[in-house]
Amino acid sequence: MKILGLDIGGANIKTAFSGVDGLIHGSCYLPIWERKHELKPFLRKVVDEFKPERVALTMTAELSDAFINKREGVNFILESVDECFNGGVLVLSTDGVFISPEEARREYMKVASANWVAISQYAAQRYDSGVLVDVGSTTTDIIPFSDGLLVPEARTDLERLQSSELLYTGALRTNLAAIADSVPVRGVETGVSSEFFALTADIYRILGDITECDYMCDTPDGRGKSIRECMARIARVVCADTLMLDEEEIRGIACYLRDRQLDRVKGGIEKIAGSRGLDKAFICGIGSFIAEKAASKAGLEIHRLEMNTASAMVNLLMR
């Protein structure tokens, strides 16, 4: 059966199709808060290209401020997908089961931001026990599983933020002002501007962890994604520029903020894994390099998962 996995995020849409030559993966930057009207045309192109017989759907875009509340967002996404695929749609729930679009509309909170279930459930079924650390462009999921079952403390995003199973920090889209209140510059503790001047993508671009192609989001100033342009944005975080700070000083700011982000992810991993006696980390996501360093600092054994949410859903449906 031709199965399409579809993860509709607020910023990115991930796809995975079970073709004759294995899974075909895709990712498209589509910021729902600005361009929700482009969702249906995008989905129609996917239908024309893959002609799937069944669609496995999950979402996080319902949280976007394009919608007045989650219910409106869930219904908009379900309507868009249902209309474009004309049946055969199953929606992943936070209970770890696929449900019909009709049930998803009635129980919209069960499918709102349920994408964390897909990879963690795949990992649980395959590897028995550990903690999944999925660092994406915007958020980090830290999901414990034991004896082949997911054992999270929370299910909704609100509860998951409270339990530290969801950290709102990621490899690309996190505002640097959200990582630290101050940074050292020339030996002086220097306050950070809370303006939207630079992103974590700028840090990891100049430190060599991502390429220009990996920088899959808009830049805060609308300029390019070269090393020099990324440095200019980082300098602006302390109300400076590349005439005031040299490359070494800007790299110093980047390294400091990288380390503070690593500390936060490490703290979440230690809390979740330590409370359940888990010693293995299964890492994935565009920020897997962050997950690997943080989990290693936390003392966990590292295992890489070459999997995204969309492909995990296809694997779960094919089992």
What tens digit of pLDDT does each residue of 241-287 get?
A: 999 999 999 999 999 999 999 999 999 999 999 999 999 999 999 99
DSSP string over 205-243? HHTTSS-TTT--S--TTS---SHHHHHHHHHHTTT--TT
pLDDT at 1: 84
**Does the pLDDT at position 21 exceed 80?**
no
Task: Specify the DSSP element, H or E, that contains 4.
Answer: strand 3-8
pLDDT at 219: 98
**Does the pLDDT at position 55 exceed 80?**
yes
**Does the pLDDT at position 318 exceed 90?**
no
User: What's the whole-number average pLDDT of the chain?
Assistant: 96
pLDDT at 82: 93
User: Among the residues of 9-69, which ranges form H helices?
Assistant: 32-35, 39-50
Q: Residue 258: how many CA atoms within 13 Å on its side-chain side?
A: 21
What tens digit of pLDDT does each residue of 152-203 get?
A: 999 999 999 999 999 999 999 999 999 999 999 999 999 999 999 999 999 9
**Does the pLDDT at position 102 exceed 80?**
yes
Residues 1/286, Cβ–Cβ less than 8 Å: no
pLDDT at 16: 95
Segment 25-44 mean pLDDT: 95
Q: In percent, how much of the chain has pLDDT > 70?
A: 100
**Does the pLDDT at position 229 exceed 80?**
yes
Counting other chains too, the contacts that 289-294 makes at CB distance below 8 Å and 24 or more residues apart are 289/171, 289/204, 289/209, 290/135, 290/140, 290/171, 290/261, 290/262, 290/265, 291/133, 291/134, 291/135, 291/140, 291/265, 293/262, 294/133, 294/262, 294/265, 294/266, 294/269
Task: Give residue 87's pLDDT band: very low, low, confident or very high (50, 70, 90).
Answer: confident
User: Rg of the Cα trace of the chain?
Assistant: 20
**Does the pLDDT at position 57 exceed 90?**
yes
Task: Give residue 22's pLDDT band: very low, low, confident or very high (50, 70, 90).
Answer: confident
Segment 224-233 mean pLDDT: 98
pLDDT at 309: 95
More confident residue, 21 or 29: 29
Task: Specify the DSSP element, H or E, that contains 269.
Answer: helix 247-276
**Does the pLDDT at position 135 exceed 90?**
yes
- Helix, strand, coil % in the chain, rounded to nearest 5: 45, 20, 35
pLDDT at 19: 75
Residue 267's CB is within 10 A of a number of other CB atoms, namely 15
**Does the pLDDT at position 69 exceed 80?**
yes
